[in-house]
């Protein structure tokens, strides 16, 4: 009886560690994707702002100045919208990954319980 308890505890611990390892890997991939997207967005915004600032510094006409600002605002808005969509896609993929991990863990636990019940019924 004690051996069975120790075996079950060992198996449970191994399954738990494996689940945590998979969760950690999923979290790492998620953070890498989010960080990459953030760096790309920041780089694009800085480049855009720098280019626009240089143009604005050389502009003497108020109408041209205002037009450049409006153009830049539209460009930034598009970049932010595209980035938001990308974030949503990344998070949706992460949700699917977490769901798969959860379902796999539940199936494993359910299979183990069914095996134990079969053993007890046979005994």
Read off the pLDDT of each residue in 93-105 and give the average, rounded to a whole number.
93
Degrees to nearest 5, angle at CA 69 with 66 and 72: 150
* 3-class DSSP state of 1: coil
Region 69-94 average pLDDT: 97
How high is the pLDDT of residue 116? 66
CA separation, residue 70 to residues 35, 55, 59 (Å): 29, 13, 14
Q: Is 114's pLDDT higher than 70? A: no
Is the separation of the CB atoms in 87 and 34 below 8 Å?
yes
How many Cα neighbours within 13 Å face the side chain of 67? 6
């Amino acid at each position: 009886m004690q051996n069975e308890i120790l075996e079950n505890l060992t198996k449970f611990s191994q399954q738990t560690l494996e689940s945590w390892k998979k969760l950690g890997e999923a979290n790492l991939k998620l953070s890498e994707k989010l960080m990459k997207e953030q760096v790309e967005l920041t780089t694009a915004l800085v480049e855009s702002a720098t280019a626009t600032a240089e143009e604005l510094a050389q502009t003497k006409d108020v109408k041209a100045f205002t037009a450049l600002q409006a153009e830049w605002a539209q460009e930034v808005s598009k970049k932010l919208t595209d980035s938001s969509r990308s974030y949503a896609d990344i998070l949706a993929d992460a949700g699917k990954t977490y769901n798969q991990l959860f379902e796999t863990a539940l199936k494993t636990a359910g299979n183990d319980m069914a095996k134990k019940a079969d053993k007890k019924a046979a005994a």
